[in-house]
Amino acid sequence: MTEPLLRTENLQKSFGALRATDDVSLDLRPGEIHALIGPNGAGKSTLIKQIAGGLAPDAGRVVFDGQDVTALSTVARARAGLGRTFQISALAMEYTVLQNAMLGALGQAGSVWRFFRPVMGDSALRLRAEQALERVGLETLVTQRTAELSHGQRRLLEVAVALTLRPRAFLMDEPMAGLGTDGSQTLTAFLDDLRREAPILLVEHDMDAVFALADRISVLVYGRIIATGTAAEIRANKEVREAYLGEEAGV
């Protein structure tokens, strides 16, 4: 078995009496898509925040590429190569699509401390931003203001910004939400290829996408992982069916 690139060890997080993250250990191996599913309120977003930074666990560790990153800031983790997309789009809404992608390229290049030359004239950054936008199919919208994009287009832009970072691992929080059937099929095909560049920890509600893509699936219920396994194993798991999939007939 290959060494996991990212893993959490016994993560704990409580809000008052609520155990939002209860002894969660999971890992992400090179080349795989590991899907994290669970009903609303199961603590998926809380878990993602502890992995990406921004929310400190009460106990446990986050290890990325052999390094304990638990105490590192969001910024430091992003620099280390964690590429995150948000459930609720976190984009610079006044900027154009291209400017948002340029921001990602700029962050990755680390060349932000330049005060005189116009950033839009930096052809290396621009090329990288345009390539990322082209890969998600937003190349016709480069001059569009982000605030004017549809919900689904914003999700794609989130993915494009993450691509400009050239991360070592992706953390994607519901990238399919709001995409519609066509859109989510296109993105599913795209993520299918993307796993070869960097593994993806995928939080997703779209079960078609999850079962089509995931090498492994972890099921989170009330902050606990009740099962981890391949799509077939998860489908066959009795506990999972009772706790979660029971509502989703025909999966």
Partner 1 sequence: MSRAGLINLALFAMLPLTAGAALMLDEPFIITLATKVAILALAGVGLNIALGLGGLVSLGHAAFFGIGGYAMGILASHAQSFTPLMQAPFLIEGTKSMPVIWLVAVIAGALAALAIGALSLRTTGVYFIMITLAFGQMLYYFAISWPAYGGEDGLSIWVRNGFPGLNTLDPIQFFAIAFVLLALALWGAGRLAASPFGLALQAARQNAERVETVGLSPYRLRLVAFVISGAVTALAGALFADLNRFVSPTMLSWQMSGEIMIFIILGGVGRLYGPVAGAALFILLEHVLGGLSDFWHVYLGLLLLLVVLFARGGLIGALAGREVAHD
Binding site for partner 1 (CB under 8 A): 52-54, 73-75, 78-79, 84, 86, 90-96, 98-100, 102-104, 106-108, 110-120, 122, 125, 143, 145, 161, 164-165
Toward partner 1, which CB reaches closer, 97 or 240? 97
Minimum CB separation of residue 109 from partner 1 in Å reads: 9
Helix (H, G, I), strand (E, B) or coil at 191: helix
Toward partner 1, which CB reaches closer, 66 or 110? 110
Query: For 147, how many CA atoms within 13 A lie in the half-sphere containing its CB?
Result: 4
Largest Cα separation within the chain, whole Å, is 62
Minimum CB separation of residue 159 from partner 1 in Å reads: 13
Structure tokens at 4: 């996991």
Minimum CB separation of residue 169 from partner 1 in Å reads: 14
Minimum CB separation of residue 53 from partner 1 in Å reads: 8
Q: Measured between alpha carbons, how far apart are the two ends of the chain, in Å?
A: 29
What's the DSSP call for residue 120?
Answer: G
How far is Cα 155 from Cα 132, in angstroms, rounded to an integer?
Answer: 13
Residue 51, φ and ψ in degrees, nearest 5: -75, -40
C-alpha closest to that of 229 among 3, 5, 36:
36
Toward partner 1, which CB reaches closer, 94 or 182? 94
CB 227 within 8 A of CB 240: yes
Minimum CB separation of residue 74 from partner 1 in Å reads: 4
Toward partner 1, which CB reaches closer, 88 or 236? 88
Residue written as token pair 């079962």: 211
Toward partner 1, which CB reaches closer, 12 or 87? 87
